[in-house]
Amino acid sequence: MLMIPAGRWIAKEPRDRGRRGGLVTEDSPSIRPPDPPDALSASSPGSAGLERAALALTSAALTFPTLGGGTMRALLVLLLAGTGLSSLVPEREKNPKYWREQAQQTLRRALELQSLNTNVAKNVIMFLGDGMGVSTVTAARILKGQLDNKPGEETLLEMDKFPFVALSKTYNTNAQVPDSAGTATAYLCGVKANEGTVGVSAAVTRSQCNTTQGNEVTSILRWAKDAGKSVGIVTTTRVNHATPSAAYAHSADRDWYSDNEMPPEAVAQGCKDIAYQLIHNIPNIEVIMGGGRKYMYPKNTSDVEYHDEEKARGTRLDGQFLIRAWKDYKPQDKNSHYVWNRTQLMDLKLDQVDFLLGLFEPVDMVYELNRNNLTDPSLTEMVEVAITILKKNPKGFFLLVEGGRIDHGHHEGKAKQALHETVEMDRAIERAGTLTSLDDTLTVVTADHSHVFTFGGYTPRGNSIFGLAPMVSDTDQKPFTSILYGNGPGYKIVAGERENVSTVDYAHSNYQAQSAVPLRQETHGGEDVAIFARGPMAHLLHGVHEQNYIPHVMAYAACIGENRKHCSSPASRNTAGALPLLAAILSPLLASLLF
């Protein structure tokens, strides 16, 4: 059966844009769907009836290409009348007053920003959406609204509400289109680096252990720890993956998860795997949560949860039990807890927890759409636990939160998984906001890189973000989904032709959206990504920046690292921040007196 988006549909004339562009018109080549529905079935009210009406009209256009444009318009009017819906435009949006009042409200909020927040950031939270390019943010915004039974486009993500927005240039020192390791080194350590390397400068060559010594660089997590703050890492990937590893490790290769993945010469030269460095480099990280259990155990050790699964077994060749080592490092007068499932996590009395290690999967955590609510915590739940523990420190905290599986969903061409991961990270951002204060907490949301992910096709308002475009291809006269990839595993040829998406379940969680170029995995994109900021000194993120600028702003706001000298006292900081604003106010007054 021919399927259309689980949203709304609108007929368009090709003249609207000066070209035909594959729109379903009287000239479109005939395609007969397997089971065209009866147009009369559209008589039921509501959006479901509209979907059936649109489907019937689409089928008619595809099956009877000789129908004139006037006839098609008449059919659409009749079908829409049968649904009781005469417009795709919400009633309030038809009134100019709605848009003017909305703009005035936004203007008032913007004017309030003239009073800049120059407080010292006691706390810093960094949310990193791995692979969360601008197109992903927009699509996730629409999805969030549609999950709330709205058209979606008018919805605001929590990150959309942040007052300061900038762009980040994501290239690595040796790569125009970057990877997650070199970018993590940039936004955590403050220096750009080569692709595939973490926590080292660009003097290090990937996979060359002997280039590492003397070229290590430290991260803002280390700067915060040295300043007496509590620190934490929360991720939906393995805790020794590219993003979190740049916070604590120095490795010539991001793939050295355990010594099992390292070449013998690297081990012989004294390089340590990333899991080992997590436990030993900064042993008193207060909170670590994510996946990656198997890298902590000797090779072939059965997993605590997946006893019989070979892929879940330990990988270490050195025989070390790193979780035991983690416990041994903790001060005797402090309470440290290791948990591996959600029940154990939720049963903790957080006011009695000083150190927490939570490893909930052998490798990466399960996609949010597939997550077992009994065994695996959500990102939002992990963030709440982390902040509750970290905020007990009167000196404040630094927390790195990664929505890491956004990236994995895109690489697999599974847009539905990627976008639901993004929406879940946005929930975590909202939860963090309720647990902290704008007065003393700087929150930065950004991405390491983008993906070759797009959506288009002149879809109408409220169209399901996972639905079909109201068009067919100029070349093969087949429909296509609004979401597409520039490359990836979604390139499928059936009987020598592009797969007809109307014959598959493109709304499935694991549906791989079609791609233009066949690849085993979809690739990153090279365009700039957004930076959203709120809280103390958020205004310093204001334009187009090199990615490595970000941790310098966070450190400046928190008076840590190399940016401590200007923070001898809160009063001096507040006065310094107020001077430019005072000058801006007084300058016009002075000018009027003089002239």
**Cβ atoms < 10 Å from Cβ of 124:** 29
* 337 in a known ligand binding site: no
For residue 112, the model assigns a pLDDT of 86
Residue 18 or residue 371, greater confidence: 371
The answer to whether residues 421 and 457 touch, using CB atoms and an 8 Å cutoff, is no
Q: Which of 59, 180, 201, 336 is catalytic?
A: 180
The amino acid present at 274, given as its one-letter code, is I
The answer to whether residues 481 and 469 touch, using CB atoms and an 8 Å cutoff, is yes
* 402 in a known ligand binding site: yes
* 253 in a known ligand binding site: no
pLDDT in tens, 253-291: 999 999 999 999 999 999 999 999 999 999 999 999 999
* 451 in a known ligand binding site: no
Q: 70 by DSSP, 3-state: which?
A: helix
For residue 88, the model assigns a pLDDT of 82
pLDDT in tens, 220-235: 999 999 999 999 999 9
Task: Output the pTM of the full model.
Answer: 0.84
For domain 123-452+524-550, give the fold.
Answer: Alkaline Phosphatase, subunit A (3.40.720)
pLDDT in tens, 71-82: 333 333 333 333
pLDDT in tens, 301-328: 999 999 999 999 999 999 999 999 999 9
224 Cβ contact partners less than 8 Å away, ≥ 6 residues apart: 124, 231, 397, 398, 558, 560
> Running DSSP on this structure, what letter comes out for residue 175?
B
Closest CA to 540 of 221, 162, 165, 108: 165
- Compute the distance between CA of residue 126 and CA of residue 223 in angstroms, rounded to an integer: 14
What percentage of the chain reaches a pLDDT higher than 70? 81
**Cβ atoms < 10 Å from Cβ of 45:** 11
* 448 in a known ligand binding site: yes
What percentage of the chain reaches a pLDDT higher than 90? 77
Domain boundaries, the chain: 14-88+463-518, 123-452+524-550
- Compute the distance between CA of residue 447 and CA of residue 291 in angstroms, rounded to an integer: 20
- Compute the distance between CA of residue 350 and CA of residue 355 in angstroms, rounded to an integer: 10
Q: 422 by DSSP, 3-state: which?
A: helix
Percentages (nearest 5) of helix, strand, coil residues in the chain: 40, 15, 45
Q: Is position 135 annotated as part of the catalytic site? A: no
For residue 87, the model assigns a pLDDT of 55
Phi and psi at 389, nearest 5°, equal: -75, -45
pLDDT in tens, 474-526: 999 999 999 999 999 999 999 999 999 999 999 999 999 999 999 999 999 99
The answer to whether residues 366 and 344 touch, using CB atoms and an 8 Å cutoff, is no
